Amino acid sequence: MRKLAKLLSLLLIAVLLIASAGCSREKKITIGIIQLADHVALDNARNGFIDALRDNGYVDGENITIDYQNAQGDQSNLSAISDRFVSNKVDLVLAIATGAAQSIAGRTKDIPIVGTAITDYVSAKLADSNERPGGNVTGTTDMNPIKEQIDLLVELVPDAKTGGVLYTSSEDNSILQAKIAKECIEKLGLKYVEVTVANSNDVQQATQAIVSQCDAIYIPTDNTFASAMPVVYGITSQSKTPVICGEAGMVENGGLATLGINYYNLGYQSGLMAVKILKGEAEPATMPIESASEFDFAINGAVAEEIGLEIPEHLKQYVKYY
């Protein structure tokens, strides 16, 4: 009887040890999401990322914990969120937009960081090169087909003599895109003008200033303007000035048209990269920056009607009324 009791005790200890080992192996992964601000493109990128994780077996509340934090466009918030993620030793960070990635990358060289909605990782000092990032940051770029977007501007406004560009002077991604847009506009024989803003408080004045100087406006994938498109629309709808935007969310909120990135798909692509890192199949240092392979037309029919612009027949299939 004593031998049986001893045997049962040993079996119980063995079971407890196995269970304990199993629990340690099944430690929940924590993923931090740091998002620069609220607007449609960034929200869509976040949703795409989360869906990619879920589709590959990483489900929030089950085997992973997602800690989502939005900085609301505030640098001090970015700093606080970044410090929190590092202190909590999260397993991976999704950084949505350049400023968010720069903030978290400046605080850790150990935690893997996957970026999205970032135009140029190299100029933002987030990677050594697109082919071999070299550090703990990789991800997807939202570099737009700017030449094709300017071509669209000219197609929709064939009588345009001057193209204006609005962007934020403190956003690295916007500076790069504005430079390319300038080259494209001038190459087509149009005069180029630009007006920049320092922050959202300047958007109304900047928009009022530029509508009197140009026949059509181009706004790149600029986070400040993406959040302030209703303000832009309030002015351009009165001046009847067409606005070609960097992405579809801006069109939805008052722009005329774009040929741009699908940010949900871009975020999903970043999610697939994160899955490889979580599975140990890749490391950010040697994981090339990926770009979108497809671009979508988006045309706001209500805006076109309000400013009195006729959409060419072959583009009417892309018209939506938001």
Residue 267: is it exposed, middle or buried by C-beta count within 10 angstroms (0-12/13-18/19+)? buried
Name the CA dihedral angle for 145, 150, 155, 156, rounded to a multiple of 10 degrees: 100
Same domain, residue pair 117 and 186: no
**Separation of alpha carbons 35 and 236, rounded Å:** 29
18 lies in some domain: no
Average pLDDT over residues 87-96: 98
Same domain, residue pair 215 and 279: no
77 lies in some domain: yes
Task: Give me the CATH number covering residue 76.
Answer: 3.40.50.2300
Quick one: pLDDT at residue 293? 83
Tens of pLDDT along 238-290? 999 999 999 999 999 999 999 999 999 999 999 999 999 999 999 999 999 99
Tens of pLDDT along 202-214? 999 999 999 999 9
7 lies in some domain: no
Same domain, residue pair 209 and 121: no
242 lies in some domain: yes
22 lies in some domain: no
Please count the other Cβ atoms lying within 10 Å of the Cβ belonging to residue 12: 10
Range of the domain at 150: 146-260+296-320
Same domain, residue pair 232 and 119: no
The model carries a pTM of 0.85
Same domain, residue pair 34 and 156: no
Q: What angle do helix axes 203-211 and 229-239 make, rounded to 10 degrees?
A: 20
Same domain, residue pair 229 and 314: yes
CB 268 within 8 A of CB 308: no
Same domain, residue pair 127 and 207: no
How many structural domains comprise the chain?
2
Same domain, residue pair 153 and 233: yes
Same domain, residue pair 35 and 160: no
Q: Is the pLDDT of residue 18 over 50?
A: no
Q: Which of 259, 215, 255 is nearest to 231 (CA)?
A: 255
217 lies in some domain: yes
8 lies in some domain: no
Same domain, residue pair 240 and 313: yes
Name the CA dihedral angle for 78, 79, 85, 87, rounded to a multiple of 10 degrees: -170
Same domain, residue pair 154 and 243: yes
Quick one: pLDDT at residue 27? 72
Tens of pLDDT along 118-148? 999 999 999 999 999 999 999 999 999 999 9
Same domain, residue pair 216 and 198: yes
5 lies in some domain: no
